[in-house]
Amino acid sequence: MLSARIATMLLFFASGASYATWGVHIPTIKAKFGLTEASLSLAMFAIAGGAIVTMKPLGRWVAHSGSARASVLGALGFALCTAAILAMPSFVLLLPALLLFGITNAAYDVAMNAQAATVEAHCGKPIMSGFHGMFSLGGMIGAAVGGALIAAGVDPLAHCAGMAAITAAAALWSRTRLLADHPAEPASAGKRGRANRLLLILGVLAFFGLVGEGAMYDWTAIYMQDVVAATPYWVGWGYAAFSGGMAAGRFAGDALRARLGTERLLAASGWMGFAGIALAIAWPSTAPALAGFALMGLGAANLVPIFFVAASRLPGVSPAEGIAAVARLAYVGLLVGPVIIGGIAHASSLRFALAVVAASVALIAVAGPRQLRRAETPG
């Protein structure tokens, strides 16, 4: 059991580090192909679009293959695509490469989360948030190492190939240590219909949670610069405060879920995120804004792990299909969240736009616990 848990943690860490490797090389890609902001947006949309469009069939594939096998194959495919991105000779070839990058990332993501749900079920105690904490830690370390390698003049293709080799090695090491999924119970049409309705509700709640998370990633620096009027040194700390809160909240999330229960933790998370954004809006100075963004990170940290666990336990669907259904709407929220906030900010102000983020997490705090009770009640 311990070896399966360590192997799954390693898969989450490698996923976060690999995605961060892509993130730090976005400027490299823009410079290599001479992209405008519009062309770069198209490239980034190819990744998200590939993931969203294929999420449902990928969920079925993971359920059919088993999360252990699918995690290894997904990680190997993702590693190959990570290595290939900067090897593309033209923007025309880059787009399909990024589309495959998004598809393999989605396959890897659904499979490792389904495996995490299987490991948690075997352990008999909450451990899902810790896995997501390893993803956050991998992202932070991957970004830091990537920045250092860029500063040292390391060839970007060599960097991506090296990260791909690490991800592939993690997948191959994990291959014999991951657990077989529990056999899916036969489901009546009525039970499956109820599960699909609940998955839609959980997915909508995850959408609102990821709208807020996406907004934090893209708009904290702008808020610190334009609204708080922070000095240049402190502008980037808004993002760092939110990311640090996310990582801390995820590593503490399992113990909190065991102590408080899923419903109370979800409500507390939503209200904490609301309080954080409200603080940053009401008191637009450097220290209060940073404290508010850190609180939002703490609040947002366990939303996705909670929704994924709930989706993986619904009678009538396999864990992989349940997670894929919720993840699909969550990814849409992450994609459109920054756009929605930008549009609202353009029409009114960024402070008002962030008030919409506060409202979205408050909605989760109010409506989420009741929906979790419905998901946990046999139909």
**Residue 378's pLDDT band (cuts 50, 70, 90):** low
Q: Specify the pLDDT at position 222.
A: 82
Spatial contact of 247 and 300, defined as CB atoms under 8 Å apart: no
% pLDDT > 90, the chain: 51
d(CA 178, CA 71): 9
d(CA 339, CA 341): 5
- Of 168, 152, 226, whose CA–CA distance to 10 is shortest? 168
* Residue pLDDT, tens place only, 36-76: 877 877 887 888 888 888 988 998 999 899 999 999 999 99
Question: Does 2 score more than 60 pLDDT?
Answer: yes
Question: Does 190 score more than 70 pLDDT?
Answer: no
Q: Domain segments of the chain: what residues?
A: 2-174, 189-376
Q: Token match 């620096």: residue?
A: 221
Give the number of residues written for the chain: 379
Helical segments of the chain, H only: 2-24, 26-33, 37-65, 67-84, 91-123, 128-151, 156-174, 189-222, 232-235, 237-260, 262-282, 286-300, 303-312, 319-347, 350-376
Q: What is the mean pLDDT of the chain?
A: 89
Q: Which fold has domain 189-376?
A: Growth Hormone; Chain: A; (1.20.1250)
Q: How many CB atoms lie within 10 A of CB 101?
A: 25
* Residue pLDDT, tens place only, 262-283: 999 999 999 999 999 999 999 9
| pTM (predicted TM-score) | 0.86
Q: How many CB atoms lie within 10 A of CB 170?
A: 22
| Amino acid code (one letter) for 172 | L
Q: What is the 8-class DSSP label of residue 224?
A: I
d(CA 311, CA 314): 6
d(CA 79, CA 28): 19
Give the least confident one: 36-50, 147-161, 299-313: 36-50
Question: Does 175 score more than 60 pLDDT?
Answer: yes
Average pLDDT value for residue range 321-342 = 85
d(CA 43, CA 35): 9
d(CA 171, CA 7): 8
Matching CATH number, 2-174, of 1.20.1250.20, 1.10.10.2840, 3.30.390.50, 1.10.3720.10 = 1.20.1250.20
Highest average pLDDT, of 21-35, 118-132, 231-245, comes from 118-132
Q: Specify the pLDDT at position 359.
A: 94
| Amino acid code (one letter) for 215 | A
- Of 246, 177, 140, whose CA–CA distance to 2 is shortest? 177
Q: Specify the pLDDT at position 189.
A: 62
> 82 or 216: which carries more pLDDT confidence?
82
189-376 shares the fold of 2-174: yes
